[in-house]
Structure 1
Amino acid sequence: MKLSIALCASAVTAASLPRSEEGLPLSDFGQTHSVSQEDAAAGIDIAYTLNQRAEQGFPLADFGEVHHVEVAQAKQGVDLGGNNFSVLPIFGPGHESSLESWLDKTNRKFKHDVHKFNDKFRHKVGNAIEKVEDIIDDVFGGNFEPRDTIDNVEDVEGELLETRDTGDCANPAIRFEWDNYSTSDKQAFVSAIKCLIDRPASGKFQYSKNRYEDFVRLHQSYAPNIHSQSTSAQTHKFLLWHRYYVWAFEQVLRDECGFNRAMPWWDEKKWAGKFAQATIFTTQYFGTLPGPTNGRGTCVTNGAFAGLQSNLGPGQTVNNPHCVQRAVSESVTAQTGVDSYNTCLARSTYPDFHSCVEFTFHAQGHNGVGATMADAIASPGDPAFFMHHLYVDYVFRKWQLGALSRRTTISGCATNNGCTPLTLDTMIYLGGICGSKCPDLPVRDVLRTLQGHFCYKYNY
């Protein structure tokens, strides 16, 4: 699948300027490289199976079959991981209505201490349990491996007494899912982004016309180094660089636009196949999500970013004023759901997880919103980019919680043109986008969200 403009292309200036209120042909934006969730589940990345890629230097020794159970099997207590569903605290319709009623059912002495531990159980009524971290706050939850068996509540109680990592920051910032974010917080967040759009450019990023475009230009300039050229020529800095990039965006919102709320994130998978109905895409917040107009992108005409103009893109193009535009395809957004999420979480090595994320729900999220977002190079022109990548980082952290080694070691390729090894000493560059808060850092300092340069976590 082609990318709109080669990632290694240099900046070019548009020969003629399109009408700023008219959408560009969708072919100008191209598409972000992607594979279907079915291929990802089968271990196929376009022309290469994962084992074939191993011959080219990708460590795949731990890769195996993606295990799953059907809903009907789960209801019968069948679980390939060996967990006993009769004692896991599954709440909601058809199950126990509360933590206390579950503890009563277990007939354990632990039930009398329910209030002691109640704040450490965080499962919500009606939500599916996907892994132990969904039940127990990861600050207190134990180091459960994916196939650990939980036979009784004492197993959980004992693990509650152990911290996940020594040296974790004491008071992490919490990122709240958009639907758990207050109306006031939502309005403050989009207002802070609008503030950046209205502020002058820093002058550090050529062709940028405002402070928000500094971030677009940074991403556009670094695109050849932070995205894989194809599924067979990959750089595994993608997740690490974007983690730092989104964090830097948060710092600038706070330091330059007075944003003083918790940071949001968007649980994208629950809107798969219906992005246009998502609670971020409303006239109150990010604006609605229209389809294409006569094969062209449709300008954003409502919401906080109505009439937003971009000087950058598609691809490496600069000095090219045009409206920020969308062209939703729900058949593509349908690929961003729980199947892709589970498929990626099941991969056991960092390169395999990384490949899965970059080419499945990450790519399909971009392509599904369409137009500006479908352009892998200048996609931050649409503020929805940051909500999408906050979700990507959320999934990255969820995967890291599966094993301590995922937060202390790294492997893969630092470059997509020869596979220079990715190590803890590989440098991540952000061009000083947020001043002294954004120094060039080694991977070891951006690998964890609770150690190194960061101190944040997600609310579930």
Structure 2
Amino acid sequence: MAGNAVVNAVLASLCLFSGASAWPFTTRQTLSIDAIQQQALANAQKVLAGTLSDGMTRPSSCNKDTVAVRKEYGDLTKDERTEYIRAVKCILSKPSKLPAGKYPGAKVRYDDFTVVHMNMTPSVHSTANFLHWHRYYIWAYETALRTECDYKGYQPYWNWGKYADLPSSPIFNGDQWSMGGNGEAIQHGRGVMNIPPGPGGGCVKTGPFAGMNITLGPLMPTMDPALRIPSNPSRDGYGNNPRCLRRDVSNYYTQTVLAPAELAAHITTSSSITTFQDTLQADTPQKAAIHGAGHFSIWGDPGGDVYVSPGEPTFWLHHGQVDRHWWMWQNYMEGELKTRTLAYEGGTNWMNPNSARGKPTDAQWLSVVAPSGQEGIPSNQLFSTVAGPFCYVYQ
């Protein structure tokens, strides 16, 4: 496939640094985020080749010749970005598959994904399910783009540490190949987390998603109340509430929490899955954690709402990177790859700190957005990107 040339080039470059199988760095903290990515990819290729085990059973159909390669959005060609945008707009135009009348704000197929996330939020945030359920969910969205809208590529991601100025990045610069521009510049105050207002705040009026209509939520509004974003007519957030897509894209977190050195340190100093996933998610009133910092760098409505955030089209790029960040942690240390792939810990309900502990055999649910025949997959089939229903790596 198209990505294999890139994968092979990376592997070749790694061989220049080491004639043996051992990674040349001996201290975790010396690794840069780029080195972590390279080693994770090299080890994933060894798993595909059968020379290294991650403890998972994989289908014979997933191998080095068939594996999909997910790329960073800015690394896609303009034609590839155009095709991805077309597919997203296609999902935005198809009818919902949810039961008629049950979710009045769900008008189109894209909304089905938002409703599923709203329903699942308490069990898939700050729980044992967070990382692998979202991996399953992003893959389901990618599958829908491919099977329902004839998309030929794979889900791109947003590399958090790549852009010194996020509003002018290929993702948000507002040109025809972007995911739409920032929100219109309007005067506004701080939202939650005490974040200074960014350069946007208003409706998205440039790029392919200019004028996009949002109908679900808000459920947990995080923008300045003075903006008078309309409340949902239903207390559960499922009512029909048409309004514009808003963003307030800023550099507040990309230069600190999401800087490359910070991301590398998070991976190399998190020795257990408990530490890794808790510090990835645990926002405090003083500081956002990595996961929240990505969402809050986009902000807006619905992007800043933990329940309704998939209504923001760049949600999928952000959570693609969340998955990549976990994938790097799982794969970059050859000697710990099996242990880290199988690692699983935490409760099952965000709202109940004493909830039952998650079990590797627990089924995960996607309702109407599950690909055909792929609903209710056990957690332990979702731990590896090259096992279970998956067959992809990150470039």
Q: Is the pair's TM-score, using the shorter chain for normalization, greater than 0.5?
A: yes
What is the CA-CA distance between 1:261 and the residue it aligns to? 1.8
Asked if 2 retains the 8 angstrom alpha-carbon contact of 1:291 and 1:328, the reply is no
Asked if 2 retains the 8 angstrom alpha-carbon contact of 1:215 and 1:433, the reply is yes
Cα distance in 2 for partners of 1:100, 1:447 equals 26
Cα distance in 2 for partners of 1:332, 1:132 equals 21
What is the match of residue 330 of structure 1? Answer: 251
Q: Structure 1: any 5+ residue segments left out of the alignment?
A: 1-97, 112-126, 143-159, 229-234
Relative distance call for 1:101 and 1:248 in structure 2 (3 A) is closer
Asked if 1 retains the 8 angstrom alpha-carbon contact of 2:345 and 2:358, the reply is yes
Tell me the secondary structure at the aligned position of residue 152 of structure 2: coil
Relative distance call for 1:366 and 1:263 in structure 2 (3 A) is closer
Matched, 1:162 2:98: no
Relative distance call for 1:378 and 1:100 in structure 2 (3 A) is closer
Instruction: State the identity as a percent.
Output: 27
Pairwise CA RMSD = 2.8
Tell me the secondary structure at the aligned position of residue 174 of structure 1: strand
Q: In structure 2, what residue type is equivalent to 1:313?
A: G
Q: Deviations over 1:314-344 (max 9, x none)?
A: 1142211111110123223332222431232
What is the match of residue 374 of structure 2? Answer: 438
Tell me the secondary structure at the aligned position of residue 348 of structure 1: coil
**Which segment is superposed worse, 444-453 or 418-427?**
418-427
Asked if 2 retains the 8 angstrom alpha-carbon contact of 1:333 and 1:369, the reply is no
Q: Structure 2: any 5+ residue segments left out of the alignment?
A: 1-11, 21-31, 190-200, 220-235, 283-288
Cα distance in 1 for partners of 2:146, 2:241 equals 29
Corresponding residue to 1:178 among 46, 49, 73 = 73
Cα distance in 2 for partners of 1:247, 1:256 equals 14
Q: Deviations over 1:96-126 (max 9, x none)?
A: xx959967xx9xxx69xxxxxxxxxxxxxxx
Q: Deviations over 1:228-278 (max 9, x none)?
A: 3xxxxxx2311111111110001111111110123322212222x621122
**1:201-220 pair list within 5 angstroms:** 201-204=96-99, 206-207=103-104, 208-220=106-118
Asked if 1 retains the 8 angstrom alpha-carbon contact of 2:183 and 2:205, the reply is no
What is the match of residue 266 of structure 1? Answer: 158
Structure with max Cα Rg? 1
Asked if 1 retains the 8 angstrom alpha-carbon contact of 2:68 and 2:393, the reply is yes
What is the CA-CA distance between 1:456 and the residue it aligns to? 1.1
Corresponding residue to 1:366 among 281, 288, 295 = 295
What is the match of residue 215 of structure 2? Answer: 311
What is the match of residue 347 of structure 2? Answer: 413
Cα distance in 1 for partners of 2:297, 2:14 equals 42
Q: Deviations over 1:64-93 (max 9, x none)?
A: xxxxxxxxxxxxxxxxxxxxxxxxxxxxxx
Asked if 2 retains the 8 angstrom alpha-carbon contact of 1:276 and 1:290, the reply is no
Tell me the secondary structure at the aligned position of residue 436 of structure 1: coil
Tell me the secondary structure at the aligned position of residue 262 of structure 2: helix
Cα distance in 1 for partners of 2:123, 2:258 equals 25
What is the CA-CA distance between 1:191 and the residue it aligns to? 0.7
Q: Deviations over 1:268-298 (max 9, x none)?
A: 2222x62112211132221112475222831
Matched, 1:351 2:274: yes
**Which segment is superposed worse, 184-193 or 324-333?**
324-333
Corresponding residue to 1:138 among 28, 37, 43 = 43
Q: In structure 1, what residue type is equivalent to 2:242?
A: P
Asked if 2 retains the 8 angstrom alpha-carbon contact of 1:307 and 1:323, the reply is yes
Matched, 1:239 2:136: no
TM-score, normalised with respect to structure 1: 0.64
Tell me the secondary structure at the aligned position of residue 162 of structure 2: helix
Q: Deviations over 1:31-67 (max 9, x none)?
A: xxxxxxxxxxxxxxxxxxxxxxxxxxxxxxxxxxxxx
Tell me the secondary structure at the aligned position of residue 330 of structure 1: coil
**1:16-27 pair list within 5 angstroms:** none
Asked if 2 retains the 8 angstrom alpha-carbon contact of 1:175 and 1:458, the reply is yes
Matched, 1:286 2:179: yes
Asked if 2 retains the 8 angstrom alpha-carbon contact of 1:138 and 1:164, the reply is no
Corresponding residue to 1:252 among 144, 149, 153 = 144
Tell me the secondary structure at the aligned position of residue 371 of structure 1: coil
What is the CA-CA distance between 1:452 and the residue it aligns to? 1.3
Cα distance in 2 for partners of 1:446, 1:252 equals 18
Matched, 1:227 2:125: yes
What is the CA-CA distance between 1:167 and the residue it aligns to? 4.5
Structure 1 segments (4+ residues) deviating >6 Å? none
What is the match of residue 91 of structure 2? Answer: 196
Cα distance in 1 for partners of 2:86, 2:45 equals 35
What is the CA-CA distance between 1:368 and the residue it aligns to? 1.7
